[in-house]
């Protein structure tokens, strides 16, 4: 089993103005941001950086606007100058630095802005996926899922700010932590319920993705304890990013199906998996895992983890393999490992 800290990390990096009490409130905010934001394409030669008394502003042929921290970082990256170096310069000097270092090619740049703020600057290879489009899928398919319980926060003097329920959206990205409080199942005397994290960035600050799981407990700091059946999908904002909506929808549907159809079956299989032994010795189990297509090195690492539980049960070995799969950098390798480890559950049926 795994302890998941993604929602915990989000909790303590978010300011009160980035919190939302419900998925509906978060959806409405993201809907408004999409309506208020505009995307324009301009040639690099039409972009200049102008100084004011205390900051820099981005000027194009039709307007002059402030830069967000993220769009300023992107501008520095395009100019190949260090952000911390530019921040030490006066606005006038920094403006001259950009005039000499920004590229002047012919391919247009995508400027994404809201009111008087530039949210992001991208090349033509970037494809935007709107937060509201992702959340619309969540509202449609994640039936009965809702934000986790209110979490503790560091600031006790926040007044009437929204509670920290796991629904967040700022200028750079969106994150949502949902659980089904009615989806509990009993597994060998222990209770598990389904949940998932979902995230996106309209400005390219992070990937779009989802992580689904079954968990035993969520603490007041939004750490998810003793999670099993953990599966993750993520994708960069390239030309095919729209396809991620289908992948994410399918993952939510599979989670709902497990909740609805396999509520009893899941409990029975996992209960048997906790009692069914794969063998008495590590050599015996190692041979079985290799026969199932699991590499010797990976199998050996999994057995070392499972041995800490005192027995080589189906559950302990599958859980160890799942934990190791989560450490793989390549999504294809993670998926292949998850498929092979999940196939071992058939030995408990």
Q: Is residue 329 part of a domain?
A: yes
Q: Is residue 147 part of a domain?
A: yes
Say if residue 14 is in the same domain as residue 59. no
Say if residue 191 is in the same domain as residue 332. no
d(CA 24, CA 27): 5
Yes or no: say if 162 and 151 are a contact pair by the CB < 8 Å rule: no
Say if residue 143 is in the same domain as residue 27. yes
- Domain end point (choices 70, 105, 140): 105
Yes or no: say if 70 and 172 are a contact pair by the CB < 8 Å rule: yes
Q: Is residue 95 part of a domain?
A: yes
Q: What is the pLDDT of residue 272?
A: 82
β strands within 201-290, DSSP E: 208-215, 217-218, 224-235
Q: Is a pLDDT exceeding 70 seen at residue 243?
A: yes
Say if residue 72 is in the same domain as residue 10. no
Say if residue 139 is in the same domain as residue 213. yes
Q: What is the pLDDT of residue 181?
A: 85
Say if residue 162 is in the same domain as residue 280. no
pLDDT (tens digit per residue) in 285-303: 888 888 888 888 888 988 8
- Domain end point (choices 195, 223, 251): 223
Q: Is residue 240 part of a domain?
A: no
DSSP track, 172-220:
S-EEEEEE-TT--EEETTEEEEEEEEEEE-TTSSS-EEEEEEEESEE-T
d(CA 138, CA 27): 10
Q: Is a pLDDT exceeding 80 seen at residue 233?
A: yes
- Which residues span the domain enclosing 86? 44-105
Say if residue 65 is in the same domain as residue 140. no
Say if residue 51 is in the same domain as residue 200. no
pLDDT (tens digit per residue) in 127-185: 999 999 999 999 999 988 999 888 876 555 555 677 889 999 999 999 999 999 887 77
The winner for highest mean pLDDT among 32-36, 187-191, 238-242 is 32-36
Q: What is the pLDDT of residue 302?
A: 86
- Which two three-digit tokens encode residue 57? 């502003």
* % of the chain with per-residue pLDDT over 90: 48
pLDDT (tens digit per residue) in 67-119: 999 999 999 999 999 999 999 999 999 999 999 998 888 889 999 999 889 99
Q: Is a pLDDT exceeding 80 seen at residue 4?
A: yes
Yes or no: say if 209 and 201 are a contact pair by the CB < 8 Å rule: no
Confidence of residue 267 (pLDDT cuts 50, 70, 90): low
Confidence of residue 334 (pLDDT cuts 50, 70, 90): low
Say if residue 319 is in the same domain as residue 201. no
Model confidence, pTM: 0.73
pLDDT (tens digit per residue) in 44-55: 888 899 998 888
Number of domains comprising the chain:
3
Q: Is a pLDDT exceeding 70 seen at residue 28?
A: yes
Q: Is a pLDDT exceeding 90 seen at residue 19?
A: yes
Q: What is the pLDDT of residue 170?
A: 93
d(CA 276, CA 49): 67
Q: Is residue 296 part of a domain?
A: yes
Q: Is residue 256 part of a domain?
A: no
Mean pLDDT of the chain: 86
| Cα 307 versus chain centre, distance | 31
Q: What's the average model confidence in pLDDT over 3-11?
A: 93
The mean-pLDDT minimum among 24-28, 119-123, 211-215, 341-345 falls in 341-345
Say if residue 134 is in the same domain as residue 215. yes
Q: Is a pLDDT exceeding 60 seen at residue 262?
A: no
* Cβ contacts of 96 within 8 Å, gap of 6 or more: none
Say if residue 135 is in the same domain as residue 186. yes
Q: Is residue 206 part of a domain?
A: yes
The CA–CA distances, whole Å, from 309 to 42, 186, 348 equal: 60, 20, 18
Confidence of residue 59 (pLDDT cuts 50, 70, 90): very high
Say if residue 215 is in the same domain as residue 344. no
Q: What is the pLDDT of residue 72?
A: 94
Q: Is a pLDDT exceeding 70 seen at residue 5?
A: yes
Q: Is residue 58 part of a domain?
A: yes
DSSP track, 73-102:
HHHHHHHT--HHHHHTS-HHHHHHHHHHHS
| Cα 154 versus chain centre, distance | 23
């Amino acid at each position: 089993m795994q302890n998941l800290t993604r929602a915990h990390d989000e909790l303590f990096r978010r300011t009160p103005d980035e919190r939302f009490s419900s998925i509906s409130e978060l959806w409405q905010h993201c809907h408004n941001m999409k309506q208020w934001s505009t995307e324009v394409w301009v040639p690099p030669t039409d972009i200049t950086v102008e100084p004011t008394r205390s900051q820099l502003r981005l000027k194009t042929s039709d307007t002059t606007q402030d830069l967000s921290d993220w769009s300023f970082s992107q501008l520095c990256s395009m100019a190949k100058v260090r952000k911390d170096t530019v921040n030490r310069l006066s606005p006038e000097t920094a403006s001259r630095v950009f005039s000499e270092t920004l590229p002047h090619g012919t391919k247009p740049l995508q400027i994404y802005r809201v009111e008087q703020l530039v949210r992001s600057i991208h090349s033509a290879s970037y494809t935007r996926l709107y937060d509201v489009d992702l959340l619309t899928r969540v509202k449609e398919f994640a039936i009965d899922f809702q934000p986790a319980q209110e979490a503790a926060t560091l600031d006790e003097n926040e007044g009437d700010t929204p509670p920290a329920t796991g629904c967040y959206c700022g200028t750079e990205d969106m994150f949502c932590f949902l659980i089904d409080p009615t989806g509990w199942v009993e597994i060998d005397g222990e209770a598990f319920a389904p949940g998932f994290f979902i995230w996106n960035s309209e400005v390219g600050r992070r990937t779009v993705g989802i992580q689904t799981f079954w968990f035993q407990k969520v603490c007041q700091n939004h750490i998810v304890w003793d999670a099993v059946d953990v599966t993750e999908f993520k994708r960069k904002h390239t030309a095919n990013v729209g396809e991620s909506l289908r992948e994410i929808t399918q993952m939510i549907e599979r989670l709902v199906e497990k909740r609805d159809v396999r509520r009893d079956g899941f409990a029975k299989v996992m209960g048997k998996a906790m009692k069914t032994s794969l063998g008495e010795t590590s050599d015996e189990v190692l041979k079985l895992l290799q026969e199932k297509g699991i590499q010797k090195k990976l199998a050996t690492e999994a057995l070392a983890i499972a041995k800490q539980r005192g027995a080589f049960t189906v559950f302990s070995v599958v859980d160890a393999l799942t934990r190791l799969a989560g450490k793989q950098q390549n999504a294809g390798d993670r998926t292949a490992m998850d498929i092979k480890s999940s196939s071992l559950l058939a030995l408990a049926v």
